[in-house]
């Protein structure tokens, strides 16, 4: 894909980072399923909005830097670098007040131009090292 900003995955992550959660209505199916680590999976667009709201409260500077997007029909795959500073506990991770950086892969299946199911695969070893002061 020439411009990753035209992908649904890029727009979803950017809207979440910017706190524009109402944009999820245009990017996710109402019954979208997002498989996420650390007990953060969701089964609807509204659930996904709630998780992002909590994430933004805990990590006010949360950013998803989409480095690459591959599109194959109704499937989008993205390589992402996630950064932020954990100010409150979130997803079972204690707040440290230190910045973190982890790698993430996102695989999304689309239906009618909206995400119907997605998988977030994150480098939890890097996140755990951050918590432990590594």
Q: What is the CATH number of the domain that holds 40?
A: 3.10.450.50
pLDDT tens across 39-71, in order?
Answer: 999 999 999 999 999 999 999 999 999 999 999
Of 10-19, 63-72, 73-82, 95-104, the one with minimum mean pLDDT is: 95-104
Measured CA to CA, the distance from residue 119 to residue 112 in angstroms comes to 18
At residue 132 the predicted structure's pLDDT band, cuts being 50, 70 and 90, is low
At residue 79 the predicted structure's pLDDT band, cuts being 50, 70 and 90, is very high
Structural domain including 73 reads 4-131
> Domain count of the chain?
1
pLDDT of residue 1 exceeding 60: no
Measured CA to CA, the distance from residue 19 to residue 62 in angstroms comes to 10
């Amino acid at each position: 894909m020439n411009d990753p900003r035209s992908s649904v995955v890029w727009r979803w992550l950017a809207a979440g980072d910017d706190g524009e959660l109402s944009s999820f209505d245009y990017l996710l199916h109402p019954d979208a399923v997002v498989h996420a680590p650390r007990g953060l999976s969701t089964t609807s667009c509204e659930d996904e909005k709630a998780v992002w709201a909590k994430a933004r409260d805990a990590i006010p500077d949360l950013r998803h830097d989409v480095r690459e997007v591959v599109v194959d029909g109704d499937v989008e795959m993205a390589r992402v670098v996630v950064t932020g500073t954990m100010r409150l506990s979130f997803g079972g991770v204690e707040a440290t007040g230190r910045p973190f950086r982890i790698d993430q892969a996102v695989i999304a299946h689309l239906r009618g131009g909206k995400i119907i199911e997605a998988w977030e695969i994150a480098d939890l070893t890097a996140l755990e090292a951050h918590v432990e002061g590594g």
